Amino acid sequence: MKKKLLLLGASGGVAPRVIPGLESDYDLLLADIAPRPQAGACAQVDITRYEQVLEAAAGVDAILNFSVIRGDPTQSFHVNVLGAWHVMTAAAELGISRVIHTAPQLLREDYDWDFDLDDPPAMAGTGYYTLTRMLSMEVCRVLARAHRIHTVCFLFAGVGGEFSREQVAEMRDFPAFYIVWEDLQQACRLALEIESIPDYFQEFNMLSYFGQGKYNADKAKRILGFQRPAP
């Protein structure tokens, strides 16, 4: 029997491109406050309303939270921080033991001078959006450990298609923390199938190109088994 997943933020900018890598192996319940631009059913769920998240999550094996708001100072807190609280609290109440959360990388401004970085402390800076996302990560960390919910947080700054060999050869630099859609799909599958997450919460750098030598995904490879396919 396929595992049943609740995917929140299904109409956003990232989730619709992750769905194709999951739908053949999992029973997906897609949910968002807005209808999906693509064809297919999508439950209307407001992540800022706990009772709606709780109802949607009933009977699922895992929750994937791709919900995010950037520009609005009020809604960004409600969706990013309070939404994370609702996801983790619903998981605890329903006995759901697996959650995938996403956040932007919070390292660039403070670590771009360094090289070969794997798991340094996050530095949110003073931007309101990044502060809400760091708070969401702390919410997930605390509740994951308190309720023994195996929780993965993927960190990336850009996601899109694969560069061609010619593009890679011509590029003077690689986009830092840029992950290819198929790699993010693979990472989600690995996070859903791994037996346990050390200390119940881990953040993972998600990047597909390592030519800079600045950031790496060694932790994701070590714990999740993440590996870029050979070109």
Domain ranges of the chain: 4-224
4-224 is a CATH 3.40.50.720 domain = yes
Query: How confident is the model over 57-92, as pLDDT tens digits?
Result: 999 999 999 999 888 888 999 999 999 999 999 999
**pTM (predicted TM-score):** 0.90
Query: How confident is the model over 28-54, as pLDDT tens digits?
Result: 999 999 877 665 689 999 999 999 999
Q: What tokens does 183 get? A: 């790699």
H/E stretch holding 206 reads none
The residues, ordered by sequence, that sit 6+ positions from 56 with a Cβ below 8 Å of its Cβ are 6, 8, 29, 31, 43, 45
What mean pLDDT do residues 176-194 have?
Answer: 93
Beta bridge partners of 85: none
Distance, first Cα to last Cα, the chain: 34
